Copies of this chain bind each other. A is one copy, B any other.
Amino acid sequence: MWTVKTVGLGVVVLSLSAELIAWLLCRLKPARNLNEVLFFPSETSCLEHIFTPSSPRSCVCSLPHGVETSFSRLLRRIMSASSSLDLCIFAFSNMDLSRALLALRSRGVTIRVLSDKNYAAVTGSQIGVLRKAGICVRCHKGSETMHHKFAVLDGRLLVTGSLNWTLTAVQINRENILISEEPDLVQPYIQEFQKLWTQNDPAQLGLGSDQEAARLTSEDDAPQ
C-alpha cells in the first residue's frame, strides 16, 4: 500500500513538474524575430490610409482602396520607424517613399540618407527634396558606384534587396525586398552604414580650403 501511494505521488509530482517547466519555457521563450519577403512589381492601390491612419476613409481617388500590396506593406514598414531611419540608396525618385521620409521627419524621427553622387543629381531624384526639407543627406564621394539599397529602422529592422527607391522598380521591374529583425543580419548593415556615413562626412574629406569645406557641407550634409 505504501509503495502504491509513493509511486502514485511520484507520478503526480513528475507530471506537475513537467507541466510547470513547459509553461515556464513557453513564457520565457523570446518572441520570434520578424522575417518577411516582398516581391515586385507591386499592384497600385491608394496609400492615403498609411499616411493618414486617423482618417482611413477620407480618400476618394480612383485607385483601389483597402488593398494590401507589396508596396503598401513596404511603405507601412518604413512608416513604422519611431526613432531613427538610416537609408543607403543608389537611386531614390519614388515620391511616396519621399513623402514617407518627410512624414517621419515631421514626427521627430532622426533620418540619415546616404546616396550615390551621380544618381542624386538626375532629374526626378528626391535627394534634393529631402535635403531642402532639412533631412541629413550625404552623397558617396568615391569614384565607385554606391549600389546599396538598404535601410535600418530604429537600429533593429533591416530592409534590403534589389529594389531601388524608384517608381520603375516598384511598379514595373522584377525586384525583391527582404525585411528582417535577425540581429546577425541587422548589425552588419548598421556598421556598414556608420562606416560609409563617417567616410563621407564633408569634414573628413581632407578639403583644401575653408571655402571648399563650406561648399560641400551645404551641399551634402544639411542639418537635421
- Is the pair B35, A185 in contact by a Cβ cutoff of 8 Å? yes
Query: How many Å lie between the Cα of A42 and that of B189 in the bound state?
Result: 16
In the complex, A107 has a CB within 8 A of chain B: no
How many copies make up the complex?
A: 2
Given the known interface contacts A37-B189, A169-B147, the answer about A140 and B174 at a Cβ–Cβ threshold of 8 Å is yes
- Is the pair A192, B39 in contact by a Cβ cutoff of 8 Å? yes
Q: Report which of B9, B21, B149 forms a contact with A10, defined as CB distance below 8 A.
A: B9
Closest-CB distance, A93 to chain B (whole angstroms)? 15
- Is the pair B162, A147 in contact by a Cβ cutoff of 8 Å? yes
Give chain A's interface secondary structure class.
mixed
Query: How many Å lie between the Cα of A24 and that of B51 in the bound state?
Result: 49
Q: Which of A22, A147, A184 has most B Cβ within 10 Å?
A: A147
Interface segment out of the listed A11-19, A94-102, A210-218: A11-19
Query: How many Å lie between the Cα of A36 and that of B187 in the bound state?
Result: 10
Sample (26) of A-B pairs whose CB atoms are under 8 Å apart: A2-B2, A5-B6, A9-B10, A10-B10, A13-B17, A14-B14, A14-B17, A18-B21, A37-B184, A37-B188, A37-B189, A39-B188, A39-B192, A90-B162, A144-B172, A144-B173, A145-B168, A147-B163, A147-B169, A147-B175, A148-B162, A148-B175, A148-B176, A149-B162, A160-B161, A180-B180
Q: Beyond A10-B13, A147-B174: 16 further Cβ-contacts under 8 Å?
A: A6-B6, A10-B10, A35-B184, A37-B188, A37-B189, A41-B144, A142-B174, A145-B168, A145-B172, A145-B173, A147-B175, A161-B161, A161-B162, A162-B162, A178-B178, A180-B185
Binding site for B on A (CB under 8 A): 2, 5-6, 9-10, 13-14, 17-18, 21-22, 25, 35-37, 39, 41, 90, 140, 142, 144-150, 160-163, 168-169, 172-176, 178, 180, 182, 184-185, 188-189, 192, 196
